[in-house]
Amino acid sequence: MMERGPIQPGGIGETRSTCPYCGVGCGVILRADAAGGVTVQGDPDHPANFGRLCSKGTALGETVGLEGRLLAPRLNGQEVGWDEALAHTARRFAETIATHGPDSVAFYVSGQLLTEDYYAANKLMKGFIGSANIDTNSRLCMASSVAGHRRAFGTDTVPGQYEDFEQADLVVLVGSNLAWCHPVLFQRLTTAKEARPAMKIVVIDPRRTATCALADLHLPIAPGADTALFNHLLCTLADQGRTDPAFLAHVNGYDAALAAARNAGETGLSPEALAEFLALWAQTERVVTIYSQGVNQSAQGTDKVNAILNCHLATGRIGRPGMGPFSVTGQPNAMGGREVGGLANMLACHLEIENPDHRAAVQGFWAAPTIAPRPGLKAVDMFRAVEEGRIKALWIMCTNPAVSMPEADRVAAAIRACDFVVVSDCMAETDTTRLAHVLLPAATWGERDGTVTNSERRISRQRPFRPAPGQARQDWRIIAGVAARMGWAEAFNWHSSAEVFAEYAALSGVAGGLGSDFDISDHAQITPQGYDALKPFVWPAAGARQGGRFFAAGTFHTPDGKARMLPIATAPVAPRDPAHPFRLNTGRIRDQWHTMTRTGLSARLGAHIAEPFLEINPQDAARLSIAPAALVQVENAHGRALLRALVTDRVQQGQVFAPIHWTGETAPSGRIDVLVPSVTDPVSGQPDSKAAAVSVRAFDAGWYGFAVSAQAFRPDCDYWAIARAETGYRAELAGHSAPEDWEAFARTLFGLPQAALTAVTDPRRGVVRMALTDAEGRLQAALFIAPDPVALSRGFVTAALGEAAEAALLSGQPGANRPDAGATICACFGVGLNTIVSAITEGRALTVAALGQSLRAGTNCGACRPDLAALIARHRQQDTEAA
Ligand code: SF4
């Protein structure tokens, strides 16, 4: 095993850390270079990934530049010193609390924070300010799993481990596009199935996602019908004698749950497909049910979770190798936030805010002047309170709610109108930082020092490979600075992340004494050296209680020690709104992360999908006269978005899908959360993010455009979406009406008033093509305008930036000597669609493995392997049809 060496800024030190993106929590080995950059490799010794990385993790080294970083505190737009910024923040919060009470202030934090940061924020709000108005963006991600776990198990406990995926005979993925959202787990599953083809995989998803490439059975369930499906399953288990009476002795509520399940209702599946699934699940002992945002992000999310848990509890298939329910989390430290009390309705270490003994224990441990007496405002309610003026001072840490919250425009307006807004962020310009009175520069991945917890309860270290730039500081230090200026210096007098972690571990020992499952008190005496060397471990870590699985013995964290099955009523199908007849599903794409502040810096990641899009079924598109690649307008009472039409039968009629990643910085009209209503699950408070009712119609575009520039630029037209390229920037454009003077438009767009300009125009066809060059004839920018979506080789045009401009450039197509690689499919090796299709159609590579041998495609992170398989399958189908 490689040992971690010292960090040597400017040298060749080696650092073990953890990827900052999804909840898989992959270990990485970082090697800093002399220029402040870093190379990244999967850590072969980390138990989450054993050396694997996905495209996002592989590209981490391309995202550590300082462009766009917030490097100094700002007060009302002016740079100030830390002391002034912290003192001002402390004074405004103290004044607000003194005048309006502790519940007039709030923190909105993030699953991107490290546990130590979370701990400090939670301690300040709940123990010293005396309110529980601290909630996390993880509320948008997995709060329904937390609520479901607590209802069934008494605690928020994930029972299993990742290795269960590999040991199962049946893996059921519900509302989880694992291939794109948790790619390394998908790789592990793929490898397991290749080694043991008898293993069955079922994907339950209204949409045919990339994950379906691995599935033996895809169930295109009706949206929201998960409770119906698992209620059917519970009935089947009962009727076929597949329940486990011995385990049911440890479970309450079976009869009521079964009685409710008898009214299961419709699933939208064919009787054959439904029967096949029920038989498979009922007859397979080792079954893991993995679920994710498709279950959680729902107005019935908690019920969906409990409908799944009911089936595992009824059969005793829980906490043993290869079996159990498994919630995979979206963010790198969503689990850490759950453990440390980042949610408004929990105390630290899984202690309960409603329990007076728990409150007293936490207050006593902290020697705090107070303790929050009741749960605080959950995310959606918090921003509603901001809008209504009940929250008068708001501190947003490490997240971008002006884009990511439901009804994002309304949330942005509420933040803008709030009396006092502080934003801690690593980036200077986000949709949210623009609304702040005080901006506090935060350290980010590669600079921060702390811990995160992944989806299998494994706590790993994030370690810095370089010092924070400028005046940036780690979040817990910023929080402690404000706390000190509010009069609580002693309680926040930590000198290192190790000290914060040790205090947290000690508090978990108190919690363990009160019966909490979360106890890592073995680490309460950890030294800075021990913290530095800390290896990934699974909690609990306290005396004889060490890691592993939960609940196989039938002991739960409820007052009587029994689990609880819940009667789950099948959710009624919402009536269709004729004015908004489509159901909008939202989610992630393979190569971007959240609002793209980091992944958007990588040209390689932007090459896969460079603009926001709307998947729409071919029959719906034909009915609405929407051509492939045209722009569509998606609208409801909350907002409006313009998106590129992706006509595909991956979505069913009446349903559309759009990604969540684009912002005011990258595609202002592609912000999809402006359309999501702030309807929430009544138990978890999690928003219903996959069920907005919308209308869809063709956008009346007068012109379409494609632009490239060596320098950053910000278009000003009805639609634009900008992305990084290796040579500069590329943008898609469109507008209702064409400007009168395209040359003036181009010069203003690119900020090149003096550049030499070559133009080819055809006014009759509405075609304009312009190249702008410098004094040496090198291409600085180019603009292509057409009445329809611009057809040209984007790779060819983008690659020409900085090169001597050729006459062929304005044709938009490379010559025969330079074939167009097409849109990037394999991000790791930059292999394009056209290159892959050529290899397939010419018979050079007819399997995924052969494509790997021939082109290297799919041989690194493997995230594109489902796409490669789909291209091969499409080619085979075309061959069959032609024969
Ligand atoms: Fe990072 Fe990818 Fe691993 Fe997720 S699967 S932690 S994004 S490398």
Q: How far is CA 433 from the centre of its chain?
A: 20
Distance separating alpha carbons of residues 309 and 288, to the nearest angstrom: 11
CB distance 24 to ligand 1 below 6 Å: yes
Q: From ligand 1's centre to the CA of 24, what distance in Å?
A: 6
pTM, 2 dp: 0.93
Q: Kind and range of the H or E element at 231?
A: helix 226-239
CA of 183 to the centre of ligand 1 (A): 7
Ligand 1: residue of 17, 22, 62, 335 to mutate (most ligand atoms within 8 A of CB) is 22
> In this structure, which residue's CA is closest to atom 2 in ligand 1?
54
Q: How far is CA 746 from CA 505, 551, 730, 776, in A?
A: 59, 65, 14, 20
Measured from the CA of 58, which atom of ligand 1 is nearest?
Answer: 8
Please work out whether the CB of residue 54 comes within 6 Å of at least one atom of ligand 1.
yes
Q: Whose alpha carbon is nearest atom 4 of ligand 1?
A: 22
Contact 21 CB / ligand 1 (< 6 Å) = yes
Question: Ligand 1 centroid to 833 CA: how many Å?
Answer: 24
pLDDT at 655: 97
Write out pLDDT tens, residues 816-839.
Answer: 556 667 777 887 777 888 888 888
Q: Cα(50) to centroid of ligand 1, in Å?
A: 12
Tell me, in angstroms, the distance from the centre of ligand 1 to residue 459's CA: 15
For residue 513, how far is the Cα from the chain centroid? 35
Q: Name the pairing type of β-strands 639-647 and 613-616.
A: parallel
**Cα–ligand 1 centroid distance for 26 (angstroms):** 6
* Percent of the chain that is helix, strand, coil (3-state, to 5): 35, 20, 45
Asked whether the beta carbons of 422 and 438 are under 8 A apart, the reply is: yes
Which amino acid is present at 204? I
Residue whose CB lies within 8 A of the most ligand 1 atoms, among 26, 187, 454, for a mutation test: 26
CA 130 to chain centre: 31
Inter-residue contact 663 to 430 (CB < 8 Å): yes
Question: Closest by alpha carbon to 345, among 355, 333, 331?
Answer: 355
Cα separation, 72 vs 8, whole angstroms: 24
**Strand-strand pairing, 563-564 and 631-636:** unpaired
> Which atom from ligand 1 is nearest to the alpha carbon of 54?
2
Question: What is the spatial distance between Cα 350 and Cα 512, in angstroms, rounded to a whole number?
Answer: 9
Pocket probe mutation, ligand 1, options 17, 18, 21, max atoms within 8 Å of Cβ: 21
Instruction: Name all contacts of 94-99 with Cβ < 8 Å and 24+ positions apart.
Output: 94/486, 94/487, 96/392, 96/393, 96/419, 96/420, 97/129
Residue partners of 434: CB distance under 8 A and separation at least 6: 402
The greatest distance separating any two alpha carbons of the chain, rounded to the nearest whole angstrom, comes to 83
- Residue 48 CA: nearest ligand 1 atom is 3
Q: Ligand 1 pocket: which of 17, 24, 52, 60 to mutate (most atoms <8 Å of CB)?
A: 24
- Determine the distance separating the centroid of ligand 1 and the alpha carbon of 447, expressed in angstroms: 18
Does the C-beta of 183 come closer than 6 Å to ligand 1?
A: yes
Closest CA to 269 of 307, 237, 230: 230
Give the 3-state secondary structure of 391-444. Answer: CCEEEEECCCHHHHCCCHHHHHHHHHHCCEEEEEECECCCCCHHHCCEEEEECC
3-state secondary structure of 27: strand
In angstroms, the CA 349 to CA 521 distance is 11
For residues 92-110, one letter each, b for 16 or more C-beta atoms within 10 angstroms of the residue's C-beta and e for the rest, the string is bbbebbeebebbbbbbbbb
| Cβ–Cβ < 8 Å for 664, 703 | no
Tokens of 294: 């498709």
Distance 41 CA to ligand 1 centre (A): 12
Below-50 pLDDT ranges, the chain = 1-11
Residue 239: other Cβ atoms inside 10 A: 12
Residue 457 region, left (φ>0) first, then alpha (ψ -120 to 50), else beta?
A: left
Residue-wise DSSP of 584-614: EEEE--TT--TT-TTGGG-HHHHTT--S-EE
19 lines ligand 1 (CB under 6 A): yes
53 alpha carbon to ligand 1 midpoint, in Å? Answer: 6
Q: Which residues pair with 731 in a beta bridge?
A: 707, 722
Report which protein residue has its CA nearest ligand 1's atom 3. Answer: 26
Output the CA 462–ligand 1 centroid distance in Å.
14
Mutation to probe ligand 1, out of 46, 52, 53, 329 (largest number of atoms < 8 A from CB): 53
Tokens of 237: 């288990």
Q: Which residue has the tokens 């004015």?
A: 579
Q: Is 22 in the pocket of ligand 1 (CB under 6 A)?
A: yes
Report how far ligand 1's centroid is from the alpha carbon of 181 (Å).
8
State whether the beta carbon of 59 lies less than 6 angstroms from ligand 1. Answer: no
CA distance 852 to 782: 35
The encoded tokens of residue 80 equal 């100030």
Pocket test for ligand 1, best of 19, 329, 608 (most atoms within 8 A of CB): 19
**Which atom of ligand 1 is the closest one to the Cα of 20?**
1
Of 768, 772, 812, nearest in space to 787 by CA: 768
**d(Cα 102, Cα 117) in Å, to the nearest integer?**
21
Cβ–ligand 1 distance for 53 under 6 Å, the answer yes
pLDDT of 395-405, one tens digit each? 999 999 999 99
Mutate to test the pocket of ligand 1, among 28, 141, 182, 458 (most ligand atoms within 8 A of CB): 182
Cα–Cα distance, 309 to 324 (Å, whole number): 8
Structure tokens at 17: 């850390």
